[in-house]
Amino acid sequence: MSDPSDVQARITTFWSGVAAGYEAHAGNVAEYGSTEYDSWVDALAPVLPDPPADVLDVAAGTGYLALAAAALGHRVAAVDLSPAMLDELAASATARGLAVDARVGDAVAPDFAPASFDAVTSRHLLWTLREPARAMANWRRLLRPGGRLVAVDGFWFTDWEDGEVPALFAEHYTAGTRDQLPLMHLDTPEPILGMLAAAGFIELAAEPRPDLNLGGGVPYLITGFVPRPGEHHGHRRRGDLMSGPEVDLEDILVTIGHNFGDIEVPLTEWIRRGPGPRKHLPLLAARSRSTGERLPLEVIPLVYRNTDESRRLIAEGKLDNPWPDS
Ligand SMILES: C[S@@+](CC[C@H](N)C(=O)[O-])C[C@H]1O[C@@H](n2cnc3c(N)ncnc32)[C@H](O)[C@@H]1O
- Protein residue closest via CA to atom 8 of ligand 1: 123
Check whether residue 78 and residue 223 sit in a common domain.
yes
**Is the same domain home to 53 and 140?**
yes
Residues 179 and 289 in one domain: no
CA distance 54 to 97: 18
- Is there a single domain that holds both residue 106 and residue 140? yes
Per-residue confidence (pLDDT) for residue 239, from 0 to 100: 31
Residue 127 lies in a domain: yes
Are residue 121 and residue 206 in the same domain, yes or no?
yes
Residue 306 is assigned to a structural domain of this protein: yes
CA atoms within 13 A on the CB side of 272: 7
Helices and strands: H and E segment counts in the chain: 11, 13
Asked, for residue 213, whether it belongs to a domain, the answer is yes
pTM: 0.76
pLDDT tens for each residue of the chain, 326 residues long = 567 789 999 999 999 999 999 999 878 999 999 999 999 999 999 999 999 999 999 999 999 999 999 999 999 999 999 999 999 999 999 999 999 999 999 999 999 999 999 999 999 999 999 999 999 999 999 999 999 999 999 887 877 777 778 889 999 999 999 999 999 989 889 899 989 998 999 999 999 999 999 988 899 999 999 988 766 554 443 332 333 344 677 788 999 988 778 888 888 888 888 888 888 888 999 988 888 888 888 788 778 888 888 888 788 777 778 888 76
Is residue 32, in this structure, part of any structural domain at all?
yes
Question: Considering the domain boundaries, does residue 182 fall inside one?
Answer: yes
My answer on whether 227 and 258 are in the same domain is no
- Boundary residue ending a domain (227, 242, 257): 242
207 with 278, same domain: the answer is no
Q: How far away, in angstroms, is 222 Cα from ligand 1 center?
A: 17
CA of 61 to the centre of ligand 1 (A): 5
Pocket test for ligand 1, best of 7, 8, 15 (most atoms within 8 A of CB): 15
Do 302 and 175 share a structural domain? no
> Same domain, yes or no, for 155 and 290?
no
pLDDT at 11: 97
Q: By the 8 A CB rule, do 221 and 240 touch?
A: no
Q: Output the CA 181–ligand 1 centroid distance in Å.
A: 13
- Domain match, 112 and 154 both: yes
Judge if 259 and 162 occupy the same domain.
no
The one-letter code for the residue type at 41 is V
Relative to the CA of 57, which ligand 1 atom is closest?
Answer: 6
324 domain-assigned: no
Beta pairing partners, 225: 148, 202
pLDDT of residue 247: 60
* DSSP classification of residue 153: E
Residue numbers of the domain that contains 46: 4-242
**DSSP annotation of 257:** -
Pocket test for ligand 1, best of 40, 44, 79, 81 (most atoms within 8 A of CB): 81
CA-nearest residue for atom 12, ligand 1, is: 59
* pLDDT given at position 273: 84
Q: Tell how far the Cα of 70 is from the centroid of ligand 1, in angstroms.
A: 18
Q: How far is the CA of 97 from the centre of ligand 1 (A)?
A: 23
For ligand 1, residues with CB inside 6 Å are: 8, 11-12, 15, 28-29, 59-62, 64-65, 79-82, 85, 106-108, 123-125, 128
User: What was the pLDDT predicted at 187?
Assistant: 87
Is residue 229 in a domain? yes
Residues 90 and 175: their CA atoms lie apart, in Å, by 33
Last residue of a domain, which of 192, 217, 242? Answer: 242
Q: Is residue 18 part of a domain?
A: yes
d(CA 181, CA 172): 13
Nearest-atom number in ligand 1 for the CA of 105 is: 21
Centre of ligand 1 from the C-alpha of residue 17, in Å:
13
CATH number, position 202? 3.40.50.150
Asked if residue 194 and residue 46 are part of one domain, the reply reads: yes
CA angle 22, 23, 28 (to 5 degrees): 85
State which of 194, 217, 242 marks the end of a domain: 242
Domain count of the fold of the chain: 2
Instruction: Give 267 Cα–ligand 1 centroid separation in angstroms.
Output: 36
